[in-house]
Structure 1
Amino acid sequence: MKIKGKTEISAIPKDLENIKIGIVKAQWNSAVTDTMLSECTKALKNAGILEENIISKNVPGSYELPLGALFIENTHNPAAVICLGCVIKGETDHDIFINQGIAQGIMGLNLRFSKPFVFGVLTVNTEEQAIARADGSKENKGKEAAEAALEMILLRQDLKKEVQGQIGFRNR
């Protein structure tokens, strides 16, 4: 699998083939988020993640993504949780506050649990922009979120291997 950027992942290494990955998807703007979920799941399976190791749950809207991700973390302890949502600009600044809350919530989870909680949330001006970024006609944000999760899982595994046996380093 080609990761956006420079990293090439041809297959999930043997020590990662049974990892669990959580996905939490907002039901609001479901025409977009359903496509993102489909593309995300397809990318994970193509990378070698077993279907039974993909935990997928829905939340009402994008603002609930961080809490849904926390629920998945607390019940399944996956290697990563991918948060998929779509916030479309309206007539007010409501979207700004929603997006800031989501971003801060997801970042807090990354730092609290020292594992990837991926921000797969579209923050767009129109529904047309959202569709183009979800269906692959312009971008494929569901697939990109899966690739980001896999790349971060592999980075964590590589770093753990580097410090194994070294005195004075935490290895969680």
Structure 2
Amino acid sequence: MSNPNRRGAMALVSASLCLTLAALFYFTAPAPALTASAPIAVPAAADWGLSFPTEGESPVGNASAEDLAQYGAYYLGDTSQKVLYLTFDCGYENGCTEAILDALKKHNAPAAFFVVGHMIESAPDIVRRMAAEGHIVGNHTYHHPDMSSISDMAAFQKELTDLETLYQETTGQPLSKFYRPPQGKYSVENLKQA
């Protein structure tokens, strides 16, 4: 990074604003069916996690990028590009979000904010600002439950669609199709449901 503004933005965001880098799940199309000839290495239910074994190298997930891609789910982009995705979980407003938005705006750095129902209900102006300033606003579910324990498709979808509805009513815009499982808990069934 040779640009001093970008270095400053990264230092500010990571040092003083509690940056959370985590997996970004993006679902775009129905998942292909699993077959006996195409087993998946994703555990039946797991806590999502990344490790960073070598400085300067891509992180390693506890499920491979290839296995997750079967479901249209990703945590890693084009590794030939030097790109960092800034992502934040927003369950409630603790006084830091506006400072984060100020820093991102100052340095022209887009980010992704994963919101829950409480955040939209308690801080609608901040959520509208996220949208107005061009950030991705993603779905972190309405109530932040352990989604891996929900096997009923209707209950699973309700957590997602209730948040989408509230976001649309609050901002006048549709919620993006980015989803991050609460607590990092997911299962193969969740990947298919999402």
TM-score normalised per structure 2: 0.32
Larger Rg: 2
- Return the structure number with greater helix share: 1
TM-score normalised per structure 1: 0.35
